[in-house]
Amino acid sequence: MSIAIVTGSAGLIGSEASRHFAKSGLTVVGIDNDMRREFFGDEASTSWQRGQLEAELGDSYIHLDADIRDQGAMDELFAKHGNDIKLIIHTAAQPSHDWAARDPHKDFTVNANGTLNLLECTRQHCKDAVFIFTSTNKVYGDTPNRLPLIEKELRWEIDPSHEFDNGIPESMSIDSCMHSLFGASKVAADILVQEYGKYFDMKTAAFRGGCLTGPNHSGTQLHGFLAYLMKCTMTETPYKVFGYKGKQVRDNIHSYDLIQAFDHFYRDPRKGEVYNIGGSRFSHCSMLEAIQMCEEISGKKLSYTYEDDNRMGDHIWYVSDVSKFQGHYPNWKLTKDVKTILTEIYQFNTERWQESVV
Identify the CATH number of the domain in which residue 105 sits.
3.40.50.720
Share of the chain above pLDDT 70, in %: 96
The b/e string for 110-147 (b: 16+ C-beta within 10 A; e otherwise) is: bbbbbbbbbbbbbbebbeebbbbbbbbbbbbbbbbbeb
Instruction: Determine the average pLDDT of the residues in 22-27.
Output: 98
Instruction: Determine the average pLDDT of the residues in 144-168.
Output: 98
Residue 358's pLDDT is what?
44
Residue 167's pLDDT is what?
98
Q: How far apart are CA 111 and CA 44, in angstroms?
A: 19
Instruction: Determine the average pLDDT of the residues in 98-115.
Output: 94
pLDDT (tens digit per residue) in 231-248 = 999 999 999 999 999 999
State yes or no: pLDDT of 225 exceeds 50. yes
State yes or no: pLDDT of 195 exceeds 80. yes
Runs of H (alpha helix) within 126-203: 180-199
Residue 13's pLDDT is what?
94
Backbone angles phi, psi at 306, to 5 degrees: -120, 135
User: In sequence order, which residues have a C-beta less than 8 Å from that of residue 238 and are 6 or more positions away?
Assistant: 232, 303, 304, 305
Q: How far apart are CA 104 and CA 101, in angstroms?
A: 6
State yes or no: pLDDT of 356 exceeds 70. no
Q: How far apart are CA 218 and CA 224, in angstroms?
A: 7
Q: Which helix or strand (DSSP H or E) is residue 47 part of?
A: helix 47-57
Checking DSSP bridges between strand 249-254 and strand 284-286, what pairing results, if any?
antiparallel
Distance of CA 85 to the CA centre of its chain: 23
Centre a 10 Å sphere on the Cβ of residue 161 and count the other Cβ atoms it contains.
7
Backbone angles phi, psi at 63, to 5 degrees: -95, 135
Instruction: Determine the average pLDDT of the residues in 250-278.
Output: 98
Would you say the C-alpha torsion 38, 43, 48, 49 has a positive or negative sign? negative
Let me know: does 301 contact 237? Beta carbons within 8 Å: no
Kindly report which listed range (36-45, 106-115, 255-264, 275-284) carries the lowest average pLDDT score. Answer: 36-45
Kindly report which listed range (96-105, 165-174, 206-215, 347-356) carries the lowest average pLDDT score. Answer: 347-356
Q: Which is higher by pLDDT, 207 or 98? A: 207
pTM of the predicted model as reported, rounded to 2 decimal places:
0.94
DSSP label at 9?
T
Q: Which is higher by pLDDT, 44 or 67? A: 67
**Which residues constitute the domain of residue 299?**
3-357
User: What's the domain count of the chain?
Assistant: 1
State yes or no: pLDDT of 56 exceeds 60. yes
Confidence of residue 354 (pLDDT cuts 50, 70, 90): low
Centre a 10 Å sphere on the Cβ of residue 351 and count the other Cβ atoms it contains.
9
Instruction: Determine the average pLDDT of the residues in 31-36.
Output: 89
State yes or no: pLDDT of 219 exceeds 60. no
